[in-house]
Amino acid sequence: MRKIIVVAGATGNLGGKIVNALLAKDVEVRAIVRLETDIEKIQDLEQKGVKVFPVDTSNKAEISKHCVEAHCLVSALAGLEETIIGTQKIFVDAAVEANVQRFIPSDYSSDFTNLKVGQNRNLDVRRKFHEYIDKTFIKATTIFNGPFMDLLTTDMPLILFKQKRILCWGNPNQILEFTTTDNIAEFTAAAAIDENTPRYLRIAGDKLSCNDFVKLLTELTTQKYSLFRPGGIGLLNILIKLTRFFSPSTNELYPAWQGMQYMRDLMEGRIIFQKYDNDRYSFIKWTSVKEFLITEKVF
Ligand SMILES: NC(=O)c1ccc[n+]([C@@H]2O[C@H](COP(=O)([O-])OP(=O)(O)OC[C@H]3O[C@@H](n4cnc5c(N)ncnc54)[C@H](OP(=O)(O)O)[C@@H]3O)[C@@H](O)[C@H]2O)c1
């Protein structure tokens, strides 16, 4: 019998890619979306062969109905506490009620198990959700993948293309991990149909230090890149506090200070994985930062 995988957040960026990766396998894909979800996004999923169920996402029984006989519920929801804790709790409870054995929470982040409480707001929310999920009967698997590699050419101010500099706080030899959303989606789809996954799976498409970025960008552009080092982690911590104080934007998912918290955690090294699960599914071809930048045609 074909496995049934239910996806929450299927209309999102990563969720959409997870759906595509699942559709490439021999499984039935169901998407549970909210009543106000854009109709065009729903039609797009349906045209691909996904069974889409718009529901009131505060209604556990409604969600549970569509989870019956599913092997795993994959969440790729994005949001603050209300969504990551509030809505995900309802999805987990609904899955438990429908006797779904496995759940993949919407983490897809750096490994926050070693972070101190209060260090990173968005990751604290996920850790708090873990306290809940770990008390339920469902078997949860978190996927840690480091920052999305895709952010290197969009929102992450690490490669300063115009200035030909690499922004570096602290140690320029500190290893930083990156994974493309395509690789994360392939890995998540494989983990979703897996019979038995551990509580945490850690992957990284590539690992580079700021010094490695300088070398790589110099090679790729044939122009001389260098480090831009405004200061150490201590200074970045002060800037985070000041930015948060003067511009709290508490209701935003990614206010400036939140981006800075991610950057600080990355450069501080506390979130670096000790062991990787990249080889768990041997068919996945991991994209390196070099390959990604060449494909993106950013030069
Ligand atoms: N490691 C990294 O660098 C990195 C970067 C970005 C994101 N992420 C993580 O990846 C995950 C997915 O993020 P994304 O950027 O792909 O998200 P996204 O594109 O913003 O999509 C969010 C999805 O969640 C749904 N959603 C949001 N709130 C909901 C609610 N209250 N009830 C039901 N559905 C709701 C949206 O549905 P509608 O279509 O109805 O709005 C949409 O399908 C998140 O955990 C995020 O933190 C990690």
Q: Report how far residue 109's alpha carbon sits from residue 111's, in angstroms, rounded to the nearest whole number.
A: 6
How would residue 297 be classed by pLDDT, with cut points 50, 70 and 90? confident
* CB of residue 105 inside a 6 A radius of ligand 1: no
Tell me the CA–centroid distance for residue 48 and ligand 1, in Å.
20
The verdict on residue 298 lying in a domain is: no
Encoded tokens for 95: 């899955």
Percentage, residues of the chain above pLDDT 90: 95
* CB of residue 148 inside a 6 A radius of ligand 1: yes
Residue 122 sits in which domain range? 3-145+180-203
The verdict on residue 188 lying in a domain is: yes
How would residue 1 be classed by pLDDT, with cut points 50, 70 and 90? confident
Q: Give the model confidence (pLDDT) of 75-92 as tens digits.
A: 999 999 999 999 999 999
Q: Identify the CATH number of the domain in which residue 132 sits.
A: 3.40.50.720
Q: Whose CA is nearest to atom 26 of ligand 1?
A: 77
* CB of residue 13 inside a 6 A radius of ligand 1: yes
For residue 6, CA distances in Å to 15, 23, 47, 261, 291 come to 11, 12, 17, 32, 32
Encoded tokens for 203: 């992957």
Tell me the CB-side half-sphere exposure of residue 203, using CA atoms within 13 A: 32
* CB of residue 34 inside a 6 A radius of ligand 1: yes
The verdict on residue 214 lying in a domain is: no
Q: Whose CA is nearest to atom 36 of ligand 1?
A: 9
Domain count, the chain: 1
Tell me the CA–centroid distance for residue 15 and ligand 1, in Å.
7
* CB of residue 205 inside a 6 A radius of ligand 1: no
Q: Give the model confidence (pLDDT) of 268-284 as tens digits.
A: 988 777 789 999 999 99
Q: Report how far residue 116's alpha carbon sits from residue 112's, in angstroms, rounded to the nearest whole number.
A: 8
- Find how far residue 111's CA is from the centre of its chain: 11
Q: Give the model confidence (pLDDT) of 119-177 as tens digits.
A: 999 999 999 999 999 999 999 999 999 999 999 999 999 999 999 999 999 999 999 99
For residue 63, CA distances in Å to 68, 196, 209 come to 9, 24, 44
The verdict on residue 97 lying in a domain is: yes
The verdict on residue 287 lying in a domain is: no
The verdict on residue 262 lying in a domain is: no
Residues whose CB falls within 8 Å of the CB of residue 216, separated by 6 or more in sequence, listed in order: 208, 289, 290, 293
What pLDDT, on a 0 to 100 scale, did the predictor assign at position 270? 81
The verdict on residue 16 lying in a domain is: yes
The verdict on residue 37 lying in a domain is: yes
Tell me the CA–centroid distance for residue 286 and ligand 1, in Å.
23
Q: What is the pTM of this model?
A: 0.97
